[in-house]
C-alpha cells in the first residue's frame, strides 16, 4: 500500500481549508491587484509602456502587426494550408517550416516577420508539397493516422 500519510495533505490542512471563505479570498485578491495595477499602469496605453519605465534604454519596441491571409483545413489523409500571396516576390524570400502540429512562415510580408499557424491534426515529417496558382500558395502535408488504441484501466480507482 502506498504511504499517503507522508503527503502534506492531512487533517490539519483540511481544517484550515474548511475555515476559509472563498468570497473573502477573491475580494482580497481583486483589491490587491487593483491597488498594484492602478499605481503602475497610470498613463500607460500598452504593456510596452510599462517595459519602457522599467528599462529606460528602450530595448523593447512594439511589434508591428502584419496580417497573413491564410486558411487551414484537413481531410481524411492531408492537412492543407492555403496562404494568399499578394506579391510574387514573396515566394523568393519566404521560408516555411513545420513540426508535428505547427507550421511557421517567415519573411512574409516583411523580412522580419514570422507567423506560426497551429495545424488541426498531427502530421508526418516527410511528404509535404507546395503548389502556387492564381495568387494562392497551397501546402499539403500528410496526416499521421494512428489507429492503435491502448486501454487505460480505471476499474480499481475507487
Structural domains of the chain ordered from first start: 70-142 (2.60.40.790)
- Are the CB atoms for 140 and 129 separated by under 8 Å? yes
The Cα–Cα gap between 93 and 108 comes to 8
pLDDT at res. 60: 41
4 has pLDDT over 70: no
In this prediction, residue 155 carries a pLDDT of 86
Residues 6+ apart with CB under 8 A from 33: none
pLDDT over 80 (residue 153): yes
Provide the pLDDT confidence category of residue 156 given band limits of 50, 70 and 90: confident
Q: Are 133 and 112 in contact (CB under 8 A)?
A: no
* pLDDT at residue 149 greater than cutoff 60: yes
More confident residue, 136 or 54: 136
Average pLDDT, the chain: 79
Could you tell me which residue, 27 or 15, shows the higher pLDDT?
Answer: 27
- Is the pLDDT at 135 greater than 60, yes or no? yes
Residue for grid cell 492537412 = 79
Global pTM value: 0.53
Cell reading at 10: 492531512
Total residue length of the chain: 158
C-alpha cell at 137: 500558395
| Residue 146 pLDDT exceeds 80 | no
Cell 487505460: give the residue. 152
**Does residue 55 have a pLDDT over 60?**
no
pLDDT for residue 5: 63
**Does residue 150 register a pLDDT over 90?**
no
Q: Is residue 75 very low, low, confident or very high in pLDDT (cuts 50, 70, 90)?
A: very high
Amino acid at each position: 500500500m502506498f504511504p499517503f500519510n507522508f503527503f502534506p495533505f492531512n487533517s490539519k490542512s483540511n481544517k484550515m481549508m474548511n475555515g476559509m471563505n472563498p468570497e473573502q479570498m477573491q475580494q482580497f485578491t481583486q483589491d490587491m491587484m487593483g491597488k498594484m495595477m492602478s499605481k503602475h499602469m497610470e498613463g500607460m496605453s500598452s504593456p510596452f509602456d510599462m517595459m519602457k519605465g522599467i528599462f529606460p534604454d528602450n530595448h523593447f519596441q512594439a511589434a508591428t502587426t502584419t496580417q497573413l491571409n491564410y486558411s487551414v483545413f484537413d481531410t481524411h489523409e492531408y492537412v492543407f494550408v492555403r496562404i494568399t500571396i499578394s506579391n510574387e516576390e514573396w515566394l523568393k524570400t519566404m521560408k516555411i517550416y513545420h513540426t508535428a502540429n505547427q507550421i511557421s512562415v517567415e519573411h512574409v510580408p516583411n523580412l522580419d516577420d514570422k507567423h506560426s499557424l497551429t495545424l488541426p491534426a498531427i502530421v508526418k515529417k516527410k511528404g509535404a508539397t507546395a503548389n502556387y496558382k492564381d495568387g494562392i500558395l497551397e501546402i499539403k502535408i500528410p496526416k499521421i493516422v494512428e489507429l492503435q488504441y491502448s486501454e487505460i484501466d480505471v476499474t480499481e480507482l475507487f
